[in-house]
Amino acid sequence: QVQLVESGGGLVQAGGSLRLSCAASGRTFSTYELGWFRQAPGKEREFVAAITLSTYYADSVKGRFTISRDNAKNTVYLQMNALKPEDTAVYYCAAARTGIIRGTIDYWGQGTQVTVSS
């Protein structure tokens, strides 16, 4: 069992930055693939970024977002720069034993709201 708790969401201006954190507990953190998904009102939940043996990003966030992890703190981060209004969504932390990019998720966080004003 793994429990994920996100934090760091909020309201920012376009062009600004925000850092999301996701703390995990309940199981050996280092054995899981970790990532972030987001969902805007009326839209499907979509992949944003993941970190396994490498890092992966959706085309829409490449060059602006950076995913990282700190196994000692059991935490995964998403640094978001040059934010755009279209980044507005609820962001969810996710953990998977395998296949996170494909959406095979074992555990979800509760979500944190990110709102980017124009």
| pLDDT values of the chain reduced to their tens digit, one per residue, 118 residues | 789 999 999 999 999 999 999 998 876 677 889 999 999 999 999 999 999 889 999 999 999 999 999 988 889 999 999 999 999 999 999 999 999 988 899 999 999 999 999 9
Give the model's pLDDT for residue 28. Answer: 62
Sequence-distant (≥ 6) Cβ neighbours of residue 38 within 8 angstroms: 45, 46, 48, 87, 89, 90, 91, 92, 114
The predicted pLDDT at position 27 comes to 67
Distance in Å from the first CA to the final CA of the chain? 40
pLDDT at 105: 95
Residue 13 token pair: 């201006």
Two tokens at 93?
Answer: 């932390």
In whole angstroms, what is the distance from residue 44 CA to residue 33 CA? 22
In whole angstroms, give the CA distance from residue 34 to residue 100.
7
Whole-number Å distance between alpha carbons of 35 and 117? 25
d(CA 25, CA 2): 6
